[in-house]
Amino acid sequence: MNTVKFTKLGLTALKSNFSSLAKPYKLTFSISYWCQSRCLTCNIWQIKPVNELTLEEIKQISIKNNYLKWIEITGGEPFLRNDIVEIAKAFQQNCKDLFVLTMPTNSLCNHDMVEKKLKEILSLGIPKVSITLSLDGYRELHDKIRGVPGNYDKVIDMAKRLNKLKKEYKNLFFIFGYTMSRFNQGMLEKTIDEVKAELPWITHNDFHLNVGQISDSYYKNGELDIRADKEELAKEIDFIIKKRKFEFGAIPFIENAFLKKLSIYILTGNSPMKSRSLDASLFMDSYGNVYPSIMWGRVIGNIRDYNYSIENMWHTVDAEEVRKIIKEGKEPSCWTACEAYQSLVGDIKRFIF
């Protein structure tokens, strides 16, 4: 069954190389904007959300869009939703070809609670459940950037728990998500060394790099000064690429390509590949607003106004206008993992060469 679901995801991604898709295969979904972090790079934590999508509404979304194969849950902090297990269950039950569920965590929620809920999610039978542990520096630096004393130690504890869970649940994967900004530029190697001192089994392959970017629609950080020196960031990306060990499989191969093109994006400021926004994927916030991508604040519509169906809004005037902008290469430049993976597998020639 897992092989069948993986094959269907792969074939859909392959099809996107030759034609536009009739419907997306990936949904990036912020299930809540509540967050306990106080990050220097992001203002999501300042939001006091009201009227977020309810569990019953999310169930309707999973029913009306049962063709989705990849769900990326994000926030805020996803584990602040008490019904996170029920949300995962809704997509698992209704999206029969769902292969992968991913989500980040800041590791600030009660760890016993998170472990209990994660076990329940892992037991649903989703072939791949991937957790990203946010970690932006060594102990003192991470706590400063995240604005919460003791946060680093909580990340380390969560990593230890997840490493034990991996022995019981073969569908569990986890990595560290390192967001690069002016606050931690030049500190990647020191951070990895400190983590490895406490977790000897960790390798450079266990670190995923993101570049801190500006988004008034998502991060609400338009007034923040977070951009680091381009050359310094490029050096750190080159460092991690050289340190990564060869691993067989689609994900390691795609991740290496993502990193190489991340360096291009940093140095040029241009998206290194054609966007697959509103084709292979879309972003939906916790209020039901649908956007082409997590970094582009162009609202296509609200899922509540379309009977919770993505297909009902897929070819509206607004959606087609956005596709025209994308086709003309006028979409705002960005390179985030939320959309980059779809671009990579949707243009295999440029992906490989």
Contact 339, 278 (CB under 8 A): no
**What tens digit of pLDDT does each residue of 319-339 get?**
999 999 999 989 988 899 999
Query: How large is the greatest C-alpha to C-alpha distance in the chain, in angstroms?
Result: 55
Is the Cα dihedral 149, 173, 165, 25 positive or negative? positive
The residue type found at 253 is F
The answer on pLDDT for 153 being more than 80 is yes
Provide mean pLDDT across the span 222-236. Answer: 93
Residue type, 93: Q
Q: Which domains does the chain have, with CATH numbers?
A: 2-352 (3.20.20.70)
Polymer length of the chain: 353
Among 331, 275, 303, smallest CA distance to 16 is for: 275
- Give the tens place of pLDDT for each residue, 90-133: 999 999 999 999 999 999 999 999 999 999 999 999 999 999 99
Q: Given this model, what pLDDT does residue 249 score?
A: 81
Helix/strand/coil for 210? strand
d(CA 240, CA 190): 12
In whole angstroms, give the CA distance from residue 280 to residue 20.
8
To the nearest 10°, the Cα dihedral for 333, 77, 56, 70?
A: 50
41-93: per-residue pLDDT in tens? 999 999 999 999 999 999 999 999 999 999 999 999 999 999 999 999 999 99
Comparing CA positions, the residue from 211, 237, 321, 285 lying closest to residue 50 is 285
| Predicted TM-score (pTM) above 0.85 | yes
pLDDT for the residue 352: 62
